[in-house]
Structure 1
Amino acid sequence: MKRRTLLALAASTMFLAACGQSTTNDADTTATDSAATGGSDLLQRINNGGTINVGTEGTYPPFTYHDESGKLTGYDVEVTRAVADKLGVDVEFKETQWDAMLAGLDSGRFDMVANQVSLTTPERLAKYDKASPYSWSGAVVLAPTNETRYSSWDNLKGLRTAQSLSSNYGELAERYEAEIVPVDGMAQAIQLVKQDRADFTMNDNLAVLDYLKKFPDADLEIKLTAPASEMRGSGLVLIKGDDAVVAKLNDAMAELTADGTLTKLSEEFFGADISQQK
């Protein structure tokens, strides 16, 4: 009797072990099949008309900010909403400080980031993917409207430029042998140009366009724009490896370009088309 009981227990143990092995193998197979077909959780949500979570600052006008009514808006925000419409999904924005933006992406707090990210460093390029750019920017020269000395970048030699010494634009001005007039930031630089204490200032195209849209009577204009080869493109950024999702984002962005939505949003927020590399 005892022998039969022991045999039964042994058989039961073997059966349970086999079931456990089968369950584990099935789980591994499912995970492998999912990875092989690119069936990430994010892709499934997009395919099923679910919700995508997008990180943004909410304090960086005109790209991402709250309007007078408290609504979250801005160029990056509205482009993301347009992309979501093309994909047939809902979008939920999660606001966070810039310093924590990519960390939130790493931890899975959100699926992607919409915050003027251009992925310029090798470290970021190795870790993240970027969908087709929805904005392009580079250095521009801002000077009084009636000035005629800016037919080429080489003409900057010897002219006074109001720049922050530690900025990329200060370094660029030095490369063209301009005379640097030190300032703390763009607002002070513009004031010096308007007061004729500097001949021009150099800054980011999008920042300058935003200023000119807000102050159309400033009697200043963009004289020189960086060539297309030096422009930086910003787009939706996500963790590297979800190629099927990137392809869907790129398709949506192509549709928004073709139907004029990106141009319309660009002109709404900047008074110029920033969606094209030119």
Structure 2
Amino acid sequence: MKLLFKKKYLFLYNLFFLSFIFFHFQVKAELPNDIKHIISRGKLIVAVNSVDYPPFFYHNKDNKLEGYDIDIAHDIANQLGISVEFNQSANTFKGVVTLVENDKADLAISAISGTLS
């Protein structure tokens, strides 16, 4: 009985010690500069192709953007605590990527996928 009590005590002590170490000495990761810039601006600018491509992105009957990609963009902005703005000036999928390359958008989202070409 005495040995069982010591094991429980030792287990609780170790659990408390590890919890203390974890919560008090936890290292917080520094955000990359581009993410800091987006957060300080207060909005995430997302490049989307101007031509609808359901179910990824499309205009509903109220001319509001909807779709899987739009939901992902909103989720990212919500996690950062900022709003989202969509840049639909590109007429091609390559043009969507070019908007990001030319700093006209922070993120390209338009059913983008890697291709051999």
Q: TM-score range by the shorter chain?
A: 0.5 to 0.7
Deviates more, 1:94-103 or 1:80-89: 94-103
Deviation of the 1:66 alpha carbon? 0.3
| 1:61 maps to 2:54 | yes
**Partner Cα separation in structure 2 for residue 99 and residue 45 of structure 1:** 23
User: Which of 17, 33, 42 is equivalent to 1:39?
Assistant: 33
| Structure (1 or 2) with the larger CA radius of gyration | 1
Which structure would you say has the larger RCO, counting Cα contacts within 8 Å and 6 or more residues apart? 2
User: Which of 79, 83, 88 is equivalent to 2:76?
Assistant: 83
> Matches of residues 247-262 of structure 1 in structure 2 within 5 Å?
none
Q: Deviations over 1:172-211 (max 9, x none)?
A: xxxxxxxxxxxxxxxxxxxxxxxxxxxxxxxxxxxxxxxx
Runs of 4+ in structure 1 over 6 Å off? none
Cα separation, partners in 2 of 1:119 and 1:43, compared to 1, 3 Å: farther
Q: Deviations over 1:23-56 (max 9, x none)?
A: xxxxxxxxxxxxxx8423x43332x471111001
**Partner Cα separation in structure 2 for residue 119 and residue 103 of structure 1:** 15
> Match for residue 272 of structure 1?
none
Identity among equivalent positions (%) equals 27
SS in structure 2 of the partner of residue 119 of structure 1: coil
> Matches of residues 1-278 of structure 1 in structure 2 within 5 Å?
38-40=32-34, 42-46=35-39, 48=40, 50-58=42-50, 59-95=52-88, 96-97=90-91, 98-121=93-116
Deviation of the 1:57 alpha carbon? 1.6
TM-score, length basis structure 1:
0.28
Unaligned runs of 5+ in 1: 1-36, 124-278
Counterpart amino acid of residue 33 in structure 2: G
Aligned length: 84
**Partner Cα separation in structure 2 for residue 57 and residue 83 of structure 1:** 19
Q: What is the Cα-based RMSD across aligned positions, in Å?
A: 2.2
Unaligned runs of 5+ in 2: 1-30
